[in-house]
Structure 1
């Protein structure tokens, strides 16, 4: 049992590290390619690779027709909104701003469960909301909230990513009865293909703009965050309880912000550290509340 737990911790660290490094990687790639197109190309390529892995693992790729509406909803909220809008926000926000805003998702899920599922937040839930909002205020208040239009657009996209992913989580309470790798391949493919179309129509990418660093980042985004990390996440869930794994994923914004400070020279001072402590404390409380709600339903 102890060896299985340590294996789970190892896979969790692999997942968190890969997803965390994707935040500064996106900032580098956005210097050369537009956000929707770059994320779409990486995602669709990763979906094909995951489909091959699923076949090699003996998983069927066919999805029953009656499950396709739920699959499309999950792809829209979990991939198109979550990945697409969070990547768009990086055009105007720093990694610390974007990551912390996006990772408030569990707080919004807790709040949306009130009107959708008639599950009123407890006093602890409202404390988590207060902590999360306090962290955001600390982070964004450094300039006295004197934002230009671009900054406001970035904040809007980051919050939309969090809120829409949270809404999808609340609406689709039961998991799709589809093998895990196949499920991710379909969701990523269906969610990222529209990004390529929109990118070609709106962003007009210059295909020859990528230099060596850009290609390296694109390959990393395809293979690691959308490939290796998803496989490691499934392995994590086989060895650790879901609530432990979810809390452990709070390492992602922390590691991403530190990596951006080291690689890109983004600020990492008392304000950023205080914002991380406040926001992620609120998220941790919301995750705890979510777990208690599931136990009550059971």
Structure 2
């Protein structure tokens, strides 16, 4: 009888611990989504004061360096084995360099709210690319999710009118390309994972991936420190500390506590927060076209995740 009671007590303790971890994971996920969602209007404003490659590259390199320090303080080794450098460089190129470059340039043509919607077609692309790369079956749900993902940008173009849509077309193409390459990097990382501790891996990928942006910014752009206003400096600090450091740390903490599908669906808060925050802080339009595109994109991602 005593053994039975002890077993029940142990089971209750395990259930309570799992519930506590789950609640903690949801809190971490909320922090991540808010941090990344607010970055869309922050980045859009920063581009009015600084060129895109320099803005994204500098904040990324500093943020990656701070993450390396966090990893070191946390007791994680910073050493990258020789056989992992190829994978790390490939992942950095697809997940960081291309994403930062293309999304930064896309915002030169797109409002932050529309850039956020198009960017979050990424999970849909990933579910489709998993077919040829990982051998995962291309289901009907994945095909429908892809159609919905295309429907989001089409809804934006239709709601803006033909002339306005053609003006934004370069931004739409750049954002879609960035989402596609990020998705490719995500799927490739499943096939060829970088075998490093989580924070160390993210820190090296961010640092290595953003160094080419800094170099290109110095060669092709003319960033002037004097051009940054107080709000511009605050934007750089936000991107460095909140986007690259806090949000990545809370993201990995959420992944450690939640099922991957729950974490993936939870990130759908990011484009919602990005769209609403852009309307509030940048006074960007929030009409039928933007809302329809957001709903279609969110629906596409939910279907892709469920499949």
Q: TM-score range with shorter-chain normalisation?
A: over 0.9
Q: Does 1:25 align with 2:22?
A: no
> What is the rounded CA distance, in whole Å, between the counterparts of 2:299 and 2:148 in structure 1?
7
Greater displacement, 59-68 / 81-90? 81-90
Q: Is the 8 A contact 1:97 1:140 kept in 2?
A: no
> What is the rounded CA distance, in whole Å, between the counterparts of 1:114 and 1:10 in structure 2?
33
Aligned CA distance change for structure 1 residues 150 and 273 (closer, same or farther; 3 Å): closer
Instruction: Name the counterpart of 1:292.
Output: none
> What is the rounded CA distance, in whole Å, between the counterparts of 1:3 and 1:252 in structure 2?
24
Q: Is the 8 A contact 2:76 2:200 kept in 1?
A: yes
**Post-superposition shift, 1:143?**
2.8
Displaced runs of 4+ in structure 1, greater than 6 A? none
Instruction: Name the counterpart of 1:221.
Output: 239
> What is the rounded CA distance, in whole Å, between the counterparts of 1:207 and 1:81 in structure 2?
25
**Post-superposition shift, 1:253?**
0.4
For 1:1-298, list aligned pairs within 5 A: 1-147=18-164, 151-174=168-191, 175-289=193-307
- SS of the counterpart of 1:243? helix
**Post-superposition shift, 1:116?**
3.2
**Post-superposition shift, 1:119?**
3.6
Instruction: Name the counterpart of 2:13.
Output: none
- TM-score between both structures, scaled by the size of structure 1: 0.93
- SS of the counterpart of 1:154? helix
- SS of the counterpart of 1:176? coil
Q: Is the 8 A contact 2:116 2:271 kept in 1?
A: yes
**Post-superposition shift, 1:120?**
4.1
Greater displacement, 23-32 / 109-118? 109-118
**Post-superposition shift, 1:125?**
1.1
**Post-superposition shift, 1:118?**
4.3
Greater displacement, 230-239 / 63-72? 230-239
Instruction: Name the counterpart of 2:11.
Output: none
- SS of the counterpart of 1:17? helix
Structure 1 segments unaligned to the other structure (5+ residues)? 290-298
Q: Provide, for residues 194-228 of structure 1, a one-character-per-residue CA deviation record: whole Å limited to 9, x for no partner.
A: 10111111122222110111001100100001000
- SS of the counterpart of 2:256? helix
> What is the rounded CA distance, in whole Å, between the counterparts of 1:216 and 1:102 in structure 2?
24
> What is the rounded CA distance, in whole Å, between the counterparts of 1:62 and 1:226 in structure 2?
21
> What is the rounded CA distance, in whole Å, between the counterparts of 1:231 and 1:118 in structure 2?
31
Larger radius of gyration: 2
Structure 2 segments unaligned to the other structure (5+ residues)? 1-17
> What is the rounded CA distance, in whole Å, between the counterparts of 1:231 and 1:92 in structure 2?
31
> What is the rounded CA distance, in whole Å, between the counterparts of 1:150 and 1:138 in structure 2?
15
Aligned CA distance change for structure 1 residues 172 and 239 (closer, same or farther; 3 Å): closer
Aligned CA distance change for structure 1 residues 3 and 115 (closer, same or farther; 3 Å): closer
**Post-superposition shift, 1:278?**
1.1
**Post-superposition shift, 1:270?**
2.5
Instruction: Give the root-mean-square deviation of aligned CA atoms.
Output: 1.5
Q: Provide, for residues 23-57 of structure 1, a one-character-per-residue CA deviation record: whole Å limited to 9, x for no partner.
A: 00001111110011011000000111111111100
- SS of the counterpart of 2:254? helix
